[in-house]
Amino acid sequence: MTLSLFVIALVKVLVTVIAVLTLAALLTWAERKQSAVMQDRIGANRAKIFGVRIIGLWHIIADAVKMMTKEDFVPPYSNRFLHTLAPFLAFFLSLVAFAAIPMGDSIQIAGHTVDMRLAPINIGFLFIFAMTSISVYAVVLGAWSSRNRYATLGGMRAAGQMISYELAMGLSVLGLVMLYGTLDLLQMARAQGGLLWGFLPAWGIFYQPLGFILLLTAIIAETKRAPFDIPEAESEIIGYYLEYSGMKFGMFFMAEFVTTIVAAGLLTTLYFGGFQVPYLLADGFHLPFGLFLGVPSALIPWLQFAAFWFKVVFFCWLLLTIRWTLPRFRYDQLMNLGWKILLPLALVNLLATGAGILLLS
């Protein structure tokens, strides 16, 4: 690897990690503030520096200081190594899953073609599904190593929930694979750059609306957030991180928000064009009815980068809204939804997609 390629790779890593972690930190504030607005409360606004509050944003720093200075408690008779490993594993797997998501199209830097994603993986969404699936090991290890029955029950619930929704999640995306003929997320995003019927962006949502709903539901279950927060269930069993404190709890806490960002990025890339801006081509905006608006070529990658993150932030907001709108399912309701509703619908969607491709070919 030449020095220029090493510098480019290093910059990509720094930009990706900083962007994801910054958004995850903001989501910890946004969740409390959004829930307060929905419940007619003020929300987090007490933390201040030099008398300045900035609508509660200092709570992000206050939370970080509290977690880093809080006592690191390890239960007696627990497996200390696994108890320590589990939160780091959960955070690492959720963060590395974002590596396959393209934040923009390929650009030319110093004579090199550079993909606007951390890793050029040609089986992008399979890699993401693999990382999110493996992350349940961190949950189970953290629960089991705590030697607490309630924590172990939460870990078992997480494992059962993952198995129940992983199949429907994978099948819901196969319709797009059949349409685009690739597993590469960058190629899928590029394929959504045209127009449908001459005026509608050729995004996956218009080809696979049922697949989008199925994937959205399954992804919420995979992130273990309400209404699928049965592994945590504060009002029942407290959850798999019952015996965690300090920064170890903070790692589980941040992993949940990073997973939310990965989910938002995946939904954006698969169904909403990824980095594509409606009507924007290489030379500018080609609007309906023959209208044209020129854009400098150097500005287009920045517009695409901004469009991607705008869509990601929108889906993060949507996931937070769902989290504070719907009540928690009972465990039997969760299993019935996964096996009796989502899985059959995913198979029907797959069959309809295949039939449509066969008839139109």
At 8-46, the pLDDT tens digits run: 888 889 999 999 999 999 999 999 999 999 999 988 888
Please say whether the beta carbons of 164 and 339 come within 8 A. yes
Please say whether the beta carbons of 185 and 275 come within 8 A. no
Please say whether the beta carbons of 54 and 69 come within 8 A. no
Beta strand pairing status for 195-196 and 112-116? unpaired
> How high is the pLDDT of residue 319?
94
Mean pLDDT of 113-137: 87
pLDDT in tens, 261-288: 999 999 999 999 999 999 888 888 888 8
Amino acid, single-letter form, for residue 348: V
Burial of 275 (0-12, 13-18, 19+ CB in 10 A): buried
Please say whether the beta carbons of 232 and 161 come within 8 A. no
Alpha helices (H) along 194-299 = 204-207, 209-222, 246-271
Amino acid, single-letter form, for residue 253: F
- Cα R_g (the chain), whole angstroms: 22
**DSSP state at residue 135:** H
Mean pLDDT of 51-78: 89
Beta strand pairing status for 104-109 and 284-286? unpaired
**DSSP state at residue 280:** B
- Read off the pLDDT band of 197 (50, 70, 90): confident
| 311, pLDDT greater than 90 | yes
Mean pLDDT of 129-153: 90
Structural domain spans, the chain: 72-360
Query: Out of 211-215, 218-222, 237-241, 242-246, which region has the weakest mean confidence (pLDDT)?
Result: 237-241
Q: How is residue 212 written in tokens?
A: 């989008």
- Read off the pLDDT band of 226 (50, 70, 90): confident
| Percent share of the chain, pLDDT over 70 | 99
| 1, pLDDT greater than 70 | no
Q: Can the peptide bond before residue 227 be classed as cis, meaning omega within 30 degrees of 0?
A: yes
> How high is the pLDDT of residue 206?
94
Instruction: Tell me the range of 47-51, 130-134, 175-179 where mean pLDDT is highest.
Output: 175-179
222/258 Cα distance (integer angstroms): 13
> How high is the pLDDT of residue 195?
83
Please say whether the beta carbons of 270 and 188 come within 8 A. yes
- CB neighbours of 226 closer than 8 A, spacing ≥ 6? 322, 323, 324, 326, 327, 328
| 96, pLDDT greater than 70 | yes
Instruction: Tell me the range of 80-84, 225-229, 284-288 where mean pLDDT is highest.
Output: 80-84
Mean pLDDT of 194-205: 87
> How high is the pLDDT of residue 337?
94
Please say whether the beta carbons of 93 and 132 come within 8 A. yes
- If one counts every other C-beta atom within 10 angstroms of the C-beta of residue 335, the result is 16
pLDDT in tens, 330-359: 889 999 999 999 999 999 999 999 999 999
| 5, pLDDT greater than 90 | no
255/249 Cα distance (integer angstroms): 10
pLDDT in tens, 142-183: 999 999 888 999 999 999 998 899 899 999 999 999 999 999
Specify which residues 284 forms β-bridges with: 294
pTM of the model: 0.95
- Read off the pLDDT band of 292 (50, 70, 90): confident
Please say whether the beta carbons of 138 and 251 come within 8 A. no
> How high is the pLDDT of residue 125?
82
256 φ, ψ to 5°?
-65, -40
Specify which residues 113 forms β-bridges with: 108
294/284 Cα distance (integer angstroms): 4
| 204, pLDDT greater than 90 | yes
128/21 Cα distance (integer angstroms): 18
Question: What is the chain's mean pLDDT, rounded?
Answer: 90
| Percent share of the chain, pLDDT over 90 | 57
